[in-house]
């Protein structure tokens, strides 16, 4: 399979240099995607193809066909297992209270409809042999976490829709892999009676081996961690090793059952209460990011451009049919007569079915298996060279589908979600931990001006006062599992830790770092802010300090008594930020709002405010108002 010569030939670089380049390109692609607010997978695919076409950088230069089969594909399979396990760790059974029925329908009826339609399209439209069509139909029901996860992170849709897509993407992966095994076994069998027995045996073995392995290994992990038989510094390494062992052992007994095992392991560990997996999850999230970057770069760089060109017609036609016919039909039929999802939610679900690395890896594996089967004695009448060639040609077709679905859904998902009201572009809503008097005053000004706010407090009087003022508020502890699991953060982009307890504020800042990012975590200046470094909490364990001059909680608490009120001021060329400071002595700037950056808390770094922006500030306007009776204890 020849390719045109690269623009600059780096094909002779060492394997170590190749790995270094892949790592570097992966991180650059992820960073550019973050800066440009585009799905990272798009850039990873572009970088992978670009590295090969422009510079001749590909694993083909270092691995021959046998090494690719014996080394690269198993590594890809193990990497997918790690991603599925990490995905399982993010699945909470509490999500199913609202989205359980849609998930069940999509993973049963939806999968069946997709399989039948794709197989029929392959047989009657593309004239593929039924063996190839059913194998591809099985593989293409998969929408995996390698693509769904990054897209959901990019789009940030409403909690319910995100839960449905996340559960579907992770649960359907092992289902698709098992279906593909069943389809392959049917394809290479010449006797239907023995095939039925084999299929039943495979399904039973997969469920028993996968479920039993997951249960036993999870219980062993729980016991060892609960009784502190594994030191903390070995937790993550132990989990990774356990996942690898579970995946390998399951696959040894039943091919592709390992994906089911690791998925069930992840879900089980995520929903047990004996030990915390939060630190493991944080590490696995970073590992997933690295694995996804490497996998997409390696796999996209492995496909010859000549093969892609030959497969372009079939690939593009199948891509269009998947987007325009198969996915909408599966969503419509799966949700027929169901009131669990709204019309807008079904439209969005129909517009989110990207295929990822699982589809690419499984297709490559079965293409090789089909070639091997074709050369077995007595198989020449069942698996002809033409059938084996069709399966081999399906590999570039699959990559066209991956590129096309990732590009289409990646570019469509965010504007569609915003248009349907299921997501907010660049959400800058504020989660206030604490609902004291001054916090409510700020939240009220923001909320009345159309900004999203949510107040949490353990003090019932504070929560009641907030609700009486018309503010969204919940009686909950910012550090409770309830908040992270039950509250919809799709319109929230930042945390303001504003309780009177410095330790709670610091803990909240650390706890929500993974959700909002350190740049969007704020807290009131702690009481020991000015203390010697030996007596104050480390700055690494805090959020960003709120407001210029870093006022402490007690100072903010007395402002309303002294006659301060929250005031909105629009900055213009005629009335600059310097004019505002000069005319409002003692004012405390709280938030700024601009078209490009949205709503942001003010900090000590605030030096100027651009014209057209708005300032929310505490300004002294007259006599002190009477204080309400609610307590400021969080």
SS (H, E, C) 293-355: HHHHHHHHHHCCHHHHHHHHHHHHHHHHHHHHHHHHHHHHHHCCCCCCCCHHHHHHHHCCCCC
Q: 512 is written with which tokens?
A: 């929500």
C-alpha–C-alpha distance, residues 621 and 599, integer Å: 24
Q: What is the pLDDT of residues 568-587, one digit of tens each?
A: 999 999 999 888 888 888 88
Q: Is the pLDDT of residue 335 over 80?
A: yes
Out of 343-352, 420-429, 553-562, pick the least confident.
Answer: 420-429
Pairing of strands 492-497, 521-523: parallel
Cα dihedral across residues 110, 300, 306, 392: positive or negative: negative
Q: What is the pLDDT of residue 355?
A: 87
Q: How many CA atoms lie within 13 A of 269 on its CB side?
A: 31
Q: Is the pLDDT of residue 629 over 70?
A: no
**End-to-end distance of the chain based on CA atoms, in angstroms?**
67
C-alpha–C-alpha distance, residues 184 and 38, integer Å: 37
DSSP character at residue 521: E
Residues 6 or more apart in contact with residue 604 via CB below 8 angstroms? 545, 547, 548, 549, 550
C-alpha–C-alpha distance, residues 257 and 570, integer Å: 61
- Asked if 410 contacts 431 with a C-beta cutoff of 8 angstroms, the reply is no
Pairing of strands 588-594, 544-545: unpaired
Laid out side by side, the sheet with 521-523 consists of 473-475, 453-457, 429-433, 492-497, 521-523, 544-545
CA dihedral 613→425→518→485, nearest 10 degrees, is 130
Q: What is the pLDDT of residue 62?
A: 60
| Share of the chain residues as helix, strand and coil, in percent rounded to the nearest 5 | 65, 10, 30
Higher pLDDT, 319 or 192: 319
Out of 6-10, 126-130, 353-357, 464-468, pick the least confident.
Answer: 6-10
For the chain, where do the domains classified as CATH 1.20.1530.20 start and end? 15-419
Residues 6 or more apart in contact with residue 484 via CB below 8 angstroms? 515
Q: What is the pLDDT of residues 373-426, one digit of tens each?
A: 777 776 777 788 888 888 888 888 988 898 899 888 888 888 898 888 888 777
Burial of 232 (0-12, 13-18, 19+ CB in 10 A): exposed
Q: What is the pLDDT of residue 294?
A: 80
Q: How confident is the model at residue 498 (pLDDT cuts 50, 70, 90)?
A: very high
Q: What is the pLDDT of residue 118?
A: 95
Average pLDDT over residues 316-329: 95
∠ at Cα 509 (505, 513), nearest 5°?
A: 170
Cα dihedral across residues 498, 499, 502, 503: positive or negative: negative
Q: How confident is the model at residue 337 (pLDDT cuts 50, 70, 90)?
A: confident
pTM flag (> 0.85):
no
Q: Which fold would CATH assign to domain 15-419?
A: Na+/H+ antiporter like fold (1.20.1530)
Q: 34 is written with which tokens?
A: 């973050």
Q: What is the pLDDT of residue 122?
A: 93
Percent pLDDT > 70 in the chain is 90
Q: Is the pLDDT of residue 265 over 80?
A: yes
Q: Is the pLDDT of residue 539 over 80?
A: no
Computed over every residue of the chain, the mean pLDDT equals 83
Q: How confident is the model at residue 150 (pLDDT cuts 50, 70, 90)?
A: confident
For the chain, where do the domains classified as CATH 3.40.50.720 start and end? 429-620
Q: May I ask the CATH class of domain 429-620?
A: alpha beta
Q: What is the pLDDT of residue 48?
A: 81
Distances (CA, A) of 513 to 146, 497, 519, 521, 540: 22, 12, 9, 7, 12
Average pLDDT over residues 91-117: 87
Cα dihedral across residues 280, 281, 282, 285: positive or negative: positive
Please choose, from the candidates 26, 17, 28, the residue with its C-alpha nearest in 3D space to the C-alpha of residue 61: 17
Phi, psi of 455 (to 5 degrees): -110, 135
Any idea which residue has 């993974």 for tokens? 514
Phi, psi of 36 (to 5 degrees): -90, 0
Distances (CA, A) of 235 to 65, 226, 334, 396, 580: 37, 11, 41, 40, 54
C-alpha–C-alpha distance, residues 389 and 404, integer Å: 23
- Asked if 601 contacts 522 with a C-beta cutoff of 8 angstroms, the reply is yes
**E strands, 488-607, where?**
492-497, 521-523, 544-545, 564-570, 588-594, 598-601
Q: Is the pLDDT of residue 633 over 60?
A: no
Q: How confident is the model at residue 500 (pLDDT cuts 50, 70, 90)?
A: very high
Distances (CA, A) of 100 to 129, 155, 617: 37, 22, 45
Q: What is the pLDDT of residues 11-35, one digit of tens each?
A: 677 777 878 888 888 889 888 887 8
3-class secondary structure per residue, 488-506: CCCCEEEEEECCCCHHHHH
Q: How confident is the model at residue 628 (pLDDT cuts 50, 70, 90)?
A: very low
Q: What is the pLDDT of residue 626?
A: 42
C-alpha–C-alpha distance, residues 128 and 132, integer Å: 6
Average pLDDT over residues 184-202: 71
């Amino acid at each position: 399979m020849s390719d045109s010569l690269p623009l600059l030939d780096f094909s002779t670089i060492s394997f170590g240099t190749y790995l270094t380049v892949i790592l570097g390109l992966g991180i650059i692609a992820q960073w550019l995607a973050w800066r440009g607010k585009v799905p990272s997978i798009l850039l990873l695919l572009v970088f992978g193809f670009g590295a090969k076409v422009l510079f001749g950088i590909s694993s083909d230069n270092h691995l021959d066909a046998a090494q690719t089969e014996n080394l690269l594909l198993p590594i890809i399979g193990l990497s997918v297992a790690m991603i599925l396990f990490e995905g399982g760790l993010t699945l909470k059974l509490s999500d199913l209270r609202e989205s359980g029925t849609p998930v069940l329908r999509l993973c049963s009826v939806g999968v069946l409809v997709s399989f039948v339609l794709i197989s029929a399209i392959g047989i009657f439209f593309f004239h593929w042999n039924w063996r190839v069509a059913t194998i591809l139909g099985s593989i293409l029901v998969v929408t995996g976490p390698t693509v769904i996860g990054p897209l959901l992170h990019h789009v940030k849709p409403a909690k319910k829709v995100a839960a449905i897509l996340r559960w579907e993407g992770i649960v359907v992966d092992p289902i698709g892999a098992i279906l593909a095994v069943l389809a392959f076994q049917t394809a290479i069998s010449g006797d239907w009676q023995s095939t039925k027995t084999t299929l039943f045996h495979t399904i039973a073995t997969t469920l028993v081996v996968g479920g039993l392995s997951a249960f036993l290994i999870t219980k062993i992990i729980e016991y060892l961690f609960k009784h502190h038989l594994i030191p903390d510094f070995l937790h993550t390494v132990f989990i990774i090793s356990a996942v690898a062992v579970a995946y390998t052992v399951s696959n040894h007994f039943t091919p592709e059952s390992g994906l089911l095992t690791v998925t069930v392991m992840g879900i089980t560990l995520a929903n047990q209460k004996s030990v915390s997996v939060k630190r493991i999850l944080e590490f696995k999230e970073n590992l997933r990011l690295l694995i996804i970057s490497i996998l997409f770069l390696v796999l996209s760089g492995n496909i010859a451009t000549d093969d892609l060109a030959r497969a372009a017609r079939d690939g593009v036609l199948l891509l269009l049919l998947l987007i325009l016919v198969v996915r909408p039909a599966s969503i419509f039929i799966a949700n027929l007569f169901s009131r669990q999802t709204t019309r807008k939610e079904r439209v969005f679900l129909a517009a989110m079915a990207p295929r990822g690395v699982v589809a690419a890896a499984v297709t490559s594996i079965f293409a090789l298996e089909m070639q091997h089967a074709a050369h077995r004695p007595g198989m020449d009448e069942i698996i002809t060279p033409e059938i084996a060639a069709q399966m081999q040609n399906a590999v570039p077709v699959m990559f066209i589908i991956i590129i096309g679905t990732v590009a289409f859904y990646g570019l469509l998902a965010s504007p569609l979600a915003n248009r349907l009201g299921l997501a907010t572009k660049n959400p800058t809503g504020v989660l206030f931990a604490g609902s004291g008097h001054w916090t409510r005053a700020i939240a009220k000004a923001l909320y009345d001006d159309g900004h999203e706010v949510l107040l949490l407090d353990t003090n019932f009087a504070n929560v009641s006062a907030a609700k009486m003022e018309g503010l969204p508020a919940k009686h909950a502890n910012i550090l409770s599992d309830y908040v992270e699991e039950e509250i919809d953060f799709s319109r929230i982009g930042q945390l303001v830790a504003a309780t009177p307890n410095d330790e709670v504020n610091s803990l909240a800042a650390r706890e929500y770092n993974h959700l909002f990012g350190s740049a969007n975590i704020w807290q009131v200046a702690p009481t020991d802010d000015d203390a010697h470094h030996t007596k104050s909490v480390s700055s690494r364990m805090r959020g960003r300090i709120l407001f210029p001059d870093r006022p402490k909680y007690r100072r903010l608490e007395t402002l309303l008594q002294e006659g301060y009120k929250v005031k909105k001021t629009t900055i213009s060329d005629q009335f600059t930020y310097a004019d505002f400071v000069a005319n409002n002595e003692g004012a405390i700037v709280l938030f700024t709002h601009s078209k490009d950056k949205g709503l942001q808390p003010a900090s000590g770094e605030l030096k100027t405010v651009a014209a057209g922006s708005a300032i929310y500030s505490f300004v002294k306007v007259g006599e002190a108002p009477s204080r309400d009776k609610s307590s400021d204890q969080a």
